[in-house]
Amino acid sequence: RLFYVAITRAESHLVLTYSASRYRYGKQRFNQPSRFLAEIGEQHLDSSSPHGSVARAPFGRFETRMGQSPKKSSSGAKVQGNFKRGTQRKPEPVVNPADFKPSPPDQIQTGMKVLHLLFGEGKVLSIDGARDNRVATIFFKDVDGGSQKRILLKFAKLQVID
């Protein structure tokens, strides 16, 4: 019902998105789009977005990323299959853990280049917060073609690099 209210209030333009992966409690979780996105008619979608849209097969059928056939919902509409929410895959380390030596959090400063086990090389753009709760905004060039992450330094495990 809340989804319906959001759509009706949009009036002329509505953007629907989902997060392919999220970090919760320090672990990466991979997500599937909501089945409601798959039930939206093709004539209502603008697939010109450079970041993609709901995967569609020929003749309006939906396919999962693994190429599986669509399943029918209880209403009879075709929806994207395999709705395991939050399925976890252990991300591969970007650097060799044996060579990784985390620096003390109080040594991390704005402008430094740092290394993170999963995100790779990054540059510290800013640091906010008090001593024990300092949060760094870091640009990682190898994450999704370049991405900023906000990381609590006392848990970050970053290695300062030259």
Half-sphere exposure of 76 (CA within 13 A, CB side): 0
**What is the model's pTM?**
0.45
Rounded to whole angstroms, the Cα distance separating 146 from 133 reads: 25
**pLDDT tens-digit series, residues 71-124:** 444 444 444 444 444 545 555 667 788 888 999 999 999 999 999 988 889 999
What fold is seen in the domain 97-161?
A: Thrombin, subunit H (2.40.10)
**pLDDT tens-digit series, residues 117-160:** 888 899 999 999 988 889 999 998 877 778 899 999 998 899 99
Phi (first) and psi of residue 90, to 5 degrees: -75, 115
CB 83 within 8 A of CB 36: no
pLDDT score, position 39: 76
Residue ranges per structural domain of the chain: 2-79, 97-161
